[in-house]
Amino acid sequence: MRALLKLSGTAFGKAGLERESLEYVAAELAAALSLSSSGDVELAVVVGGGNLVRGRDLPRMDRAIADQMGMLATVINGLALQEALSQRGIPAALQSAVAVPWAEPVDPRRAREALSQKRVVIFAGGTGNPFVTTDTAAAIRAAEINAEVLLKATDVDGVYTADPKRDPSAQKIPSLTYERAIHERLGVMDLAALALCEQYGIPIVVFDFFREGNLQRVLEGEEIGTRVS
């Protein structure tokens, strides 16, 4: 299975890059890759940067500049994840849509080659453009590498009819269509990302990444979280 995992910046820390959070992410990826019973998992990761800079939270700054800062923040998280995986003996390639000397430019062909060689491919820099979320970047990268599934890592166990942290009557939705997710604006991903996944037939699984072992369970086909298809 070739999968793309979308990690928000908050997976790397609540305020800044936190070692404990980074170690958890790396450990979950390592466990999933080493323990997957299928043995043929190929994994790419799109990283966010909201733990360092979130463009929409800088209202007095030009949005394009704020988003450029956010893209650079994803490179920091990408470098950190690459090093954390390397320390576990897991080879990882870092590609960035923003030109930096420490990462390769985004190249789908090279990314697919690296995945076929069982290297984790980390995508940073978003799309390289302002006004575009890392959700959309994840959908684009998933299409570029011919991913069979896009895994949306969250801190809740799927998609609900309302925010379960605020509304105790919210009901979990085990599966739904792209059309329903778009029409009802259920917060799965942004609308551009959903439309792109629908266009290319890439299913999305929204799951609780912070329950230990869940990434492995998803990769092994367990029905956890919410599947959008």
Grouped pLDDT means (10 residues each) for the chain, 229 residues: 96 94 97 70 96 79 90 97 96 97 97 96 96 95 98 92 84 92 87 95 97 94 93
Are the beta carbons of 98 and 124 closer than 8 angstroms? yes
Are the beta carbons of 139 and 197 closer than 8 angstroms? yes
Please give the Cα distance from 126 to 186 (Å, whole number). Answer: 23
Q: How many CA atoms lie within 13 A of 200 on its CB side?
A: 19
Residue 15 domain boundaries: 2-228
Please give the Cα distance from 52 to 82 (Å, whole number). Answer: 17
> Total structural domains in the chain?
1
Per-residue DSSP letter, 106: P
Surface-to-core class of residue 203, CB atoms within 10 Å of its CB (0-12 exposed, 13-18 middle, 19+ buried)? middle
Question: How many CB atoms are located within 10 Å of the residue 219 CB?
Answer: 22
CATH code for the domain of 136: 3.40.1160.10
Residue in the structure block whose two tokens are 């980074």: 22
Instruction: Evaluate if pTM is beyond 0.85.
Output: yes
